[in-house]
Amino acid sequence: VQPQDPFGHIMQQHFRQLSTALRSLGWTECSVMDMNEFFTCCIPEDEQQRVQTLEPFDEYEEWHLKCSHYFVLAASKGMEPSWTPLSPSGTGTHQAVFTLFFYLMRYGHHSVLVKPNVIVTTGGFGEEHGQHCRVRNVHLLSRHAGHWEAVSHCSSAQGNWAGRGRLYHTVSRLSDTLALVVGGRTSPSSTGLGMLWLKFPKTCGASGPGDVSVELASLQPDAEAAALRWRHSTTEITFKGEQYLFVYGGRSALQPVLRDWHFLHAPELSCAIPVDGPVPESRHSHSACSWEGGVLIAGGLGAAEQPLGSVFLLRELEHGFKWQTIETHPPLVPRYSHTAHVHEGKLLLVGGVWFHASSVPGVTVIDLMTGLCLNYVINVWPLMLHNHSSVFLPDEKELLVIGGGGNCFSFGTHLNPEPVLLSLGSILASH
């Protein structure tokens, strides 16, 4: 099933190493159902819930990718079984252009543009000192003369970050010298890791990493719940001319999926703002990005561990905010573990995991004025475009994809080896 996508490539390599031939035995009729569909459609709901609560679990991407490549097959001679083919997704024809460079291997991390030419990457699971572990360093990328370079690891930050090496957190830039780390986990049974301030010198990235400091944020009781989560989103919004952070969704050690949200306002990191409108369903591993003072929420994994295809806008009003549904046509293919960016009224969704499509997610472009939704296939091999982070460079119409991968159940850990510069000029020009 899907032998040409990145997961399929790794499977084929595995079978070649085992010298296990896959042969046709001459059956005249054959029907097949992948294990995602089998689990959803053929397993009773109470049994699904029992399996999902057997133990703390947080490797959804690899579970669903494996199930999309394993299947139940019925073959016969002289009888045609009834079956329904999986419906393909509509795709465009444009191909993005890749540029690869130095090694930076991790997933479940977060990258943020803190200055026009400086990107900070924190946390995640990856390779450090030749071993796979929760990454403790703070990594800087700096652009000089149009080229991105790895400045170095910031060892000065490790004292407070070590032992707090976290996955699936968020990092939000508040200024050129300050960022806020929210949530994250060490293990799926962890109760949450709170918030941290990342403080950068004004010269950070100019000629070296500088002295990056990490400080534990002091939280008001109302803000503590915002920090006890992972796989959430934290997005900059504007209300009455002031800057806030909007923390939404995710999961916790007690709740497999969350539906709540919190507004954070520096420096007290706690405030209440009214929100009206139909509340989106619970989700984690969704995307969120700022647009016109509000937040665009797209996709995610829902309460039934099924990908979601909904898009919502949290829109600013005079007295607060209001949830508003963004209708797309054709409907957005449900997905999660993707990244998102807005450019000139277009929502760009990059990568992720979805079910029952003929290809892996590439780049989806949604026109926020008309709702037109187009999928563009890109040849991502040897990358796995999930659990990654990305930074959009609007002037160059390029996307810097950092990290990604995961712990494949059958084949070991796959880490995307290098950051990739993805040119979106041809895709954006078609709109």
Helix H or strand E encompassing 32:
strand 29-34
Contact 110, 119 (CB under 8 A): no
Contact 120, 198 (CB under 8 A): yes
Whole-angstrom CA distances from 163 to 159, 166, 185, 378, 400 are 8, 9, 11, 38, 29
Whole-angstrom CA distances from 50 to 34, 43, 55 are 21, 11, 10
pLDDT of residue 52: 85
Helices 35-42, 60-69: inter-axial angle, 10-degree rounding: 100
* Cα distance between residue 285 and residue 308, in whole Å: 10
pLDDT of residue 248: 98
- Nearest alpha carbon to residue 167 among 289, 301, 59: 59
In the chain, domain spans = 6-76
Over the chain (431 residues), what is each successive 10-residue block's mean pLDDT? 72 75 64 86 89 86 86 73 41 54 84 90 88 86 83 56 76 91 88 82 63 75 86 95 94 93 85 94 98 97 94 96 97 97 96 84 94 87 88 92 84 82 85 65
Both structure tokens of 206? 């100019």
Q: Is the dihedral of CA 31, 36, 42, 43 positive or negative?
A: positive
Contact 77, 28 (CB under 8 A): yes
First to last CA, the chain: 33
Phi/psi-derived region of residue 17, left when phi > 0, alpha when psi is between -120 and 50, beta in every other case: alpha
Identity of the amino acid at 278: P
Block residue for tokens 């797209």? 298
pLDDT of residue 331: 95
b/e string for 323-334 if b means 16 or more Cβ within 10 A?
Answer: beebebeeebbb
Strand partners, 85: none
Looking only at the bridges linking them, the beta strands covering 321-325 and 275-276 are parallel
Quote the pTM value. Answer: 0.84
Helix H or strand E encompassing 69:
helix 60-69
